């Protein structure tokens, strides 16, 4: 559990609907844990999460996490 907070993190917010998107984009949004427009989650900045963010980048707002870089 503490490993998650020691890693670099990013805050991801869904700003557009997944309706009408390709299945891989919908699955990427679901894999990030986003459920509805305006929903935000903080995820670890790993290559797998970065790939999901890149797949749906046109629908997301990406910011550094509020506690990023702090131990």
- Dihedral over Cα of 44, 47, 53, 56: its sign: negative
**pTM of the entire predicted model:** 0.82
Q: Tell me: pLDDT of 25 over 70.
A: yes
DSSP conformational letter for 36: S
Give the domain extent around 27. 2-64
Does any domain span residue 69? no
5-15 pLDDT per residue, tens: 567 999 999 99
Does any domain span residue 45? yes
26-36 pLDDT per residue, tens: 999 999 999 99
Bridge partner residues of 14 (DSSP)? 60
CATH number at residue 56: 3.30.1390.20
């Amino acid at each position: 559990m503490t490993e998650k907070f020691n890693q670099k993190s990013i805050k991801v917010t869904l700003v557009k609907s997944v309706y009408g998107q390709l299945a891989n984009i919908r699955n990427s949004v679901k894999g990030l844990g986003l459920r509805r427009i305006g929903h935000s989650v903080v995820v670890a900045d790993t290559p797998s999460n970065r790939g999901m963010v890149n797949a749906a980048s046109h629908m997301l707002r990406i910011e550094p996490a509020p506690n990023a870089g702090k131990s």
